[in-house]
Structure 1
């Protein structure tokens, strides 16, 4: 692979060797396009190595079971332009992803909740396969080139890409077509530092303010240290202006700063956007999601009736995590009565317990940072891109793929699926355009 830091011209330059850029490069070369990648790091796919806890959650097959696979898959994505992902996913979805990786020599296996990984369960395998694919196709990757500016001209060549190397050498590349595959703001140590937004804005595009997605929530609550480390199966609701705007079920984890766990990560996008708009956000947690409010009342009344001689604290043994109980007693304002018996509970106190168990509310103050986030919500406005091709409506020959645009997916392999899908579709769209001119 050519790593020489010299000025070059290619038909297509791809900025970024992440998931979207790698898929775009391999696909473009297979379609006969002279493609090359510019990458700021010293190797490809640095962020890919961090995904899936080091196993690389390539995709999720749970949406590939019915007749409307693309529609089901598209529901896992979020954008200010709701329907934008669907035409892309219709061209390249989960089944196509599985098949393509198979042709590259990387068989996938399905584990929990339909999440698919390389059979080796090593993220490094994904990059090794892409490295081989690039070498097989003679796709140059110009490493340690930080793009500092992109200039568009209606004349040949359309794009001038100015770079700076580690040794501060100024290098210029030119191309007729340009793919921005620079990622968002998550995992900045891997190179996804938001620089692609700057380049796109210089070319006339609009940025929808990015916020962390799939990330933990910070809470304003006085007893977080006491709750830290407690896990339980529960149902979380994000509430804004008195309305539940999203709910998720699963294992929830309290931390010393707030709350985490898969349901919270799924809820975080909604929380982040509303917090960013200056709105108050509340998290409501249901500790007994398997029972209705009426069933909780009936269950506890019967339980307390049978064991009226026990203390209230002891009455929760075997029902809730033991570490939760002292905090619940504080919430019910009976923590100063450690020997209070169930038979002596007032109706007012009982109602507090009923409410806490089904509607335990917390004030959400913030999310954790982009460093902790798994994806970026927001990005370049998709209204300025052509649906189904990902070409810019503003700059002829410019295409966007991956996290740089305002599309983000749920947790579970969906963001990498968007990288594969959008990278493939951008390359295919360019090939179709070239065949028609």
Structure 2
């Protein structure tokens, strides 16, 4: 019984998918005819003008198919294009030149889209018609006895054989059961097949994904180097402006005290006390700089304990929620700590908020082969309008997260709220 219910649910999901595919395959067939006509006219030299608009039409319909397949399977189908979409006119709204036709035709994804148009235009109609006829055959077989009993005795019902008696009419019921079994079996199978082929054709190839990954890693490495350089410059600035000046003051007072000891030993004591105080201040500032490199509280209490202390010191009321958090690599914990610290500092200085909420979640892998991700969500009820270019520290958060191949999203409409979300992969 459970298998029957599962087959029924699968058929209910698959049938609308195939019916929409029936409509989209008709459009794909029209696009296929257009592609063939443009190709034919291109051979004689006049079809080149129609190539950008044709590519744009194919890409738009392929994009709708990606959405249809993603909705059915629950897995997104990324856009695979290396070249930008051609504009509708010779220049786009920004005045940029049109995409060269050769660039469009050199993009492998363009030809994979054309392959999908060919596949879907030729097979989608057949699959869609089968998906329609199977359940209709079940209904037809079920109502033939009722329909035959209402007809005159000398007027047989043709479905699929002439029904002239009750035996023939009731014989349609086992046939209808067979149609039902075929419907529950074939409709989900056809839907999975159609979605699988479309997904293979419309998503980036392995080489394209590898190339995109190399590009992402190059950008991530650049961001990591930039973040590292910025951190070194900050440490150098803090040491130069604070600790170094304090130590220079200690050296100066010790030198003065040395000369005072030779002339008047009793006058050297205040100078030594001042040098001692400045040495203590220098030590305090040095400890503060060390904490900005790696806060000792992380090693002592873990990320959740360190964030609890950070929330307690926040200038505005702060609520901390932690879900499924465990010990993570030290560098990642430090990055998460500083992301939250910077976000809370921004909220305290710029948002005018009455309350801020911090949520940390360790999200499990979406599929086999994926990594866990640490999701940091900071939301304040301030006036919004945060601007990354205004020196609010958001750019620093983005650089720090990008160094771990993560993503940062900032949403801050005027009137609030401001939401900063960072998603960091937890590489083992």
Greater Rg, structure 1 or structure 2?
Answer: 2
Question: What TM-score comes out, normalization by structure 2 length?
Answer: 0.25
Q: Which has the higher helix share?
A: 2
**Which structure is higher in RCO with an 8 Å CA cutoff and minimum separation 6?**
1
Question: What TM-score comes out, normalization by structure 1 length?
Answer: 0.25
